[in-house]
Structure 1
Amino acid sequence: MMERGDARKWLMGFTEQPEHHRLALAGCAALGDPFFIPWLLRMMRVPERTRRVAGESFRFITGADLSERPLEGSALEGAGDEAESDAEVLEMDADSELPWPAPEVVAAWWAERKEDFHSEVRYLLGHPMTPESLREGLRLGRQRERRSAALELAMRYPGQPLFDVGAPGFRQRQWLAALP
């Protein structure tokens, strides 16, 4: 597993290359590092289709529900979101369920709460990534968060199999009850 400082440097390389912004946004969510929040807030103001993914990455770290008013914005705030290629249309479809962030309101939300987040702690949905909070993410999270929690637990416990978040619910409940 990569050290936090190395992971930050590696991710920052992607944040500086517009063609890799989508990858950087996914990496920010996976790392759960509040260090990247200022960049995520800037990406929510960029009039391109990565705005939704920036909001989702912000939510993964902070737990802010951007589908609720006043944090939810509209597509009109991101004029210029027209697809240019088939690949972009497919990416847009994958993001179509994500809310449009209201950048100014989200920035104000962060300004009020940023002191609750520490620069040397990784977060998932506003909670420090601990084995307990990751197991809680498996129990209560949406599918995207559950995948993230499962991957994080698998990396932390190399001998353990990856939790199958696509398995039938009754089987997942059995596995959850057996987790250390």
Structure 2
Amino acid sequence: MWTITCALRCYMMLTALGLCGVMKRRWVVLAIALAVNFAAMYGAPHQRGEEGLALFGVSGFMIWLVSMYLAGVCFYVCAPFAVCALIVFVAALFAPQSVTRAVTPTMGAYLLFYVGHLQSPWLAKLRTRDDLSYGLYLYGWPVTQLISHGLPAIVPLAAFACVTAICVPLAFASWRGAEAPALRLKGTMVSRSGPLVQ
């Protein structure tokens, strides 16, 4: 749940960029993402929970998380840059730790998005009609905490099985009750206003 506040700020930032017309200019979006990524290299925390070095009053930890979010935004508006992302990702593996920490979750995430959207029969078999990913992300942490609090001696494999058994129905209800209707509403709004990017 500690990432939710960052996600909310990212949604607000993306809304502001959309209202300003920035989302229609993919090169501007890419430039913003690269600038945030370089800032994340500068102030990336060395361990989870550390704030890292602040930049313009924003903690390095927050900048690091925003850089990951912007990787997904860039995939949406700049999908053809997968080869560049792969080159940068591989090069970052041999760079100093601060660079690796900043580049791996951004370029790596971009590459995962790219592979996940490839149209192949094998990958198509892994896709389902109901997307439970966000619900699993949302409910996984609190359910894990409750189980570990109630059953402190539980072994990791049993904890994983219990969390999965509880979270899958929650994620399904979340998808059917909130996420899918919201996505249908978004599709209606986009069709009325025209394409998001050019």
| TM-score normalised by length of structure 2 | 0.28
Q: Which has the higher helix share?
A: 2
Which one has a bigger Cα radius of gyration? 2
